[in-house]
Amino acid sequence: MPSATFKLFSRAPDQPKKLPIRKQILFLRRICHLLERGFPLLEALKMTSWDPSLAPITHTITEQLKSGQPMDTAFQQASFSRNVVSFLFFARINQDLPSIFRQCADLLHIQEDYTRKLKQVLRYPLFLLIFVIIAFGVIKRTIIPSFQSLFENQASKPLSLIVLNVVDVGITGFCYMTVVIILALFLFKLYLPKLTINQKLTIYEKTPFLKEYQIFTVTFLFATHLSSLLKAGLSLKHALEIIAGQTKYNILSHYAKMILFRLNEGILLGQAVHPCSLIKGDVTTIFHHTNDLDTLSKELQVYSELLMDQLKERLTQTMQLIQPVFFMIIACVVVLIYASIMLPMYQWMEQI
C-alpha cells in the first residue's frame, strides 16, 4: 500500500528517523541468534552493541528496558517499524522471544526483498514511458500541427491523423489520471486518521485493491496473534481481550471487541467471526472445525504460514507480469506514433 503522505516529504522535529529496513533485519537476526544460544536478553543486547552500526539501537532499547518500559515501547523508541512493534506487544504474554524476533525479521525481509525487486522491475519501463511521453510532447507541438495544416483542405482527415490524435488524447489522459490518483492518495492518507473505524471499514470494503490488501493483513495478523496467545496457554476470551487492547491496528482491535460481544451473547465462535468482512472465511471454517485450543492454535499457525506463502507466490507472479505488460503498452504506442507520422507523408507524396 502507499506510504503516508506528509510523512514521505517531511518529518516532525521530535519524530525519530525510521531505521532502514536492512538494519532492522540485521539487528533482529543477531538478537534471535544470541537468544537461541541461551544468552539473556540484556546480555544479547550488550553483545549486539559490539557492532558499531547497531550500538545506538541497543543503547536505546537497553535504557528503555532498564527504566521499566515494555519490549514494544522500547523498540518503538528505537524507531523500529510498526509491524515489529505490533508483534512485540504480544511478547508481553508470549515469552518466546527468539520465535517473535525471527518472525519479525522474516516479515521485514519479505518487505525489503520485494520492494527492491519492484524497483528493479519498474526502472526500465518507467524510463521508457517517460521518454515516450517527452518524445510525444515534442511531436505534439511540431509534427501534429504541420499535418493538420497539410490536410486541412481535404474533406475527410486521413486515418493516420485520427490515430495520432487518439494517441494524443490517450497519453494526455494518462498524465492527468496519474496526477489525480496521486492527489487522491495524498488526500486519503491526510484524512484517514480523522475517520471513525466504521468509516474506514466502509472505504476498505468498497475499494477493490484496498479491500484485498486489508483482508490479507487483518486475517494474517488475527490468525498469527491469536495462535501465539493460545500457544502461551491463555483462554480464548483472554486472548481476544488482549488483541482488543492493542492500538497499532484499529481494525483488528475493533473486530476482537465485536467477536467478544457476540460471544458474550452466547453465539458460537465461528458465527461470531463470520460478520467480520475483512477476515477470510477460512478462519470461520477453522473455528467450526475444532474447539480444542491446542489444535486451534496449531491450525491458525499453519494457516498464517499458508497466507505468507500465498503472498510470496502472488507477488512473484505480479513481478513477472509488470515488465511484459509495460513493454507491450509502450511498444503499441511507439508503433502507432511511427505509423501515424509516416502514413500521412506517403499520402502527401502520392498527391504531388
- In this structure, the chain runs to a length of 352
Set of cell numbers at residue 264: 458474550
Whole-angstrom distance, CA of residue 90 vs CA of residue 327? 46
Q: Which residues contact 103 (CB under 8 A, 6 or more apart)?
A: 87, 224
Q: Which candidate, 59, 54, 61, 67, places its Cα nearest to that of 97?
A: 61
Q: Which residue has the higher pLDDT, 336 or 69?
A: 69
How distant, in Å, are the alpha carbons of 75, 106, 110, 141, 315 from that of 308?
24, 10, 9, 50, 11
pLDDT tens-place string over residues 290-338: 778 888 888 888 998 898 888 888 888 888 888 888 888 888 877 777 7
pTM value is 0.76
Answer for the pair 64, 73: CB distance below 8 angstroms, yes or no.
yes
Whole-angstrom distance, CA of residue 16 vs CA of residue 78? 8
pLDDT tens-place string over residues 79-102: 898 888 888 888 777 777 888 888
